[in-house]
């Protein structure tokens, strides 16, 4: 089962519950590569997948001299850039606190699953991507919310049976695990 988060519907017809799964791991572990594969496979099956990527860095989503950036820097609270192909909303926080995960989820349209990358400290179900050659300790021993680990190592004997251990080099197996969770 996925973590379901309660939220106020952002617009009429929006689902009040969203299924979310965090995908965590150290930098360079392969999170984005695995997410790319999973999202593509899920979308090919007709599922709507949303993603929220968290960053601790300042974001530059547009070239600084473009009209939208100039308007944002002039003081606009939000700037929407729209085309026949896509749209984006950029909100300048100007010292306000970062929106909570619930607020971020409320801004998204309804989806079959929302994947969260980089929300390590949040109490949500998580899939950890762990590679031995990263030279860092895995996160799952200290995080009870890790429900599965995709790794290039064999399953540790001390790992609780309730935690799925998946072969990172077999992304179809990770997909099968994810699809099984979606069917619950």
> Mean pLDDT over residues 145-150, rounded?
97
Q: Strands 17-24 and 113-117: what pairing? A: parallel
The total number of structural domains in the chain stands at 1
pLDDT on residue 42:
98
| Residue 110 resides in a domain | yes
Residue 153 has pLDDT above 90, yes or no: yes
Residue 138 has pLDDT above 80, yes or no: yes
Helix (H) / strand (E) containing 31: helix 31-44
| Residue 74 resides in a domain | no
Residue 173 domain boundaries:
3-58+98-182
pLDDT on residue 61:
74
| Residue 67 resides in a domain | no
| Helices vs strands, H then E, count in the chain | 4, 9
**CATH code assigned at 157:** 3.40.50.300
pLDDT confidence of 2, banded at 50, 70, 90? Answer: low
| Residue 124 resides in a domain | yes
| Residue 85 resides in a domain | no
């Amino acid at each position: 089962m996925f973590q379901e988060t309660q939220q106020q519907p952002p617009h009429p017809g929006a689902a009040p519950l969203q299924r979310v799964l965090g995908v965590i791991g150290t930098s360079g572990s392969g999170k984005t590569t695995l997410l790319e594969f999973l999202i593509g496979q899920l979308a090919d099956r007709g599922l709507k997948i949303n993603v929220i990527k968290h960053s601790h860095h300042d974001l530059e989503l547009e070239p600084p001299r473009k009209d939208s950036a100039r308007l944002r820097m002039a003081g606009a609270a939000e700037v929407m850039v729209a085309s026949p192909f896509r749209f984006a909303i950029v909100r300048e926080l100007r010292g306000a606190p970062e929106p909570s995960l619930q607020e971020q989820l409320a801004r998204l349209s309804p989806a079959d699953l929302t994947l969260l990358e980089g929300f390590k400290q949040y109490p949500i179900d998580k899939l950890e991507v762990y590679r031995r050659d990263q030279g860092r300790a895995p996160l799952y021993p200290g995080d009870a919310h890790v429900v599965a680990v995709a790794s290039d190592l064999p399953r540790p004997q001390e790992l609780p049976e309730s935690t799925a251990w998946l072969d990172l080099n077999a992304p179809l197996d990770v997909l099968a695990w994810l699809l099984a969770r979606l069917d619950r």
